[in-house]
């Protein structure tokens, strides 16, 4: 069973994904790490040097490969849903969970994180709102399940995901 997590940067895809994979006893894969291994540098460096379009080409190739793995939890980059092929591959090859966070929550969570290029702008909250308005419909289109990440702990979110997967028949109840 392939399970992909989508959502804005900082929504918890990597943190929740690691815990979910541990709980299900399947591998965890972070698509950003796979992309960096492939390009041999940080995504930020590549983005600055080659541009967004070339980055999205590489991301699409990597996601095509990773989404074909039938036994993993896959954390995707926040912009993975921008390309129709990515949305199609993720949705058709496994279950997709959208970890939905409000721009205000994300801003509170990330305001001191200098490693996030998206927030290194004059008005990071406006930038998060802009990203949310463009990407929220794409996340919803891609996802089988939408989970609000506002208050629940990581453990609670993992439990909610497992319960959704069990109720949908994607996971046998006895498995977990």
Q: What is the pLDDT of residues 132-142, one digit of tens each?
A: 999 999 999 99
The predicted model scores a pTM of 0.93
Q: Residue 14 annotated as binding?
A: yes
Cα 98 from Cα 101, distance rounded (Å): 9
Residue 175 confidence (pLDDT) above 50:
no
Residue 109 known to bind ligand: no
Does residue 10 have a known ligand-binding role? yes
Under CATH, what is the fold of the domain 2-166? Answer: Rossmann fold (3.40.50)
Is 95 annotated as belonging to a binding site?
no
Residues 142-157 pLDDT 10s: 999 999 998 789 999 9
Rounded-to-10 torsion of CA 139, 143, 145, 146? 0
């Amino acid at each position: 069973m392939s399970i992909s997590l989508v959502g804005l940067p900082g929504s918890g895809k990597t943190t929740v994904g690691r815990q979910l994979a541990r709980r299900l006893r399947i591998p965890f894969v972070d698509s950003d790490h796979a992309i960096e291994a492939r390009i041999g540098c940080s995504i930020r460096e590549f983005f600055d040097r080659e541009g967004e379009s070339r980055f999205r080409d590489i991301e699409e190739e990597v996601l095509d490969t990773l989404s074909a793995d039938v036994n993993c939890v896959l954390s995707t980059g926040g912009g993975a849903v921008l390309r129709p092929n990515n949305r199609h591959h993720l949705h058709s090859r496994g279950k997709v969970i959208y970890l939905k966070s409000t721009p205000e929550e994300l801003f509170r969570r990330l305001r001191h994180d200098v490693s996030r290029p998206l927030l290194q702008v004059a008005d990071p909250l406006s930038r998060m709102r802009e990203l949310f308005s463009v990407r929220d419909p794409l996340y919803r289109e891609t996802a089988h399940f939408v989970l609000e990440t506002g208050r629940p702990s990581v453990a609670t979110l993992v439990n909610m995901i497992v319960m959704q997967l069990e109720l949908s028949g994607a996971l046998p109840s006895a498995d977990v």
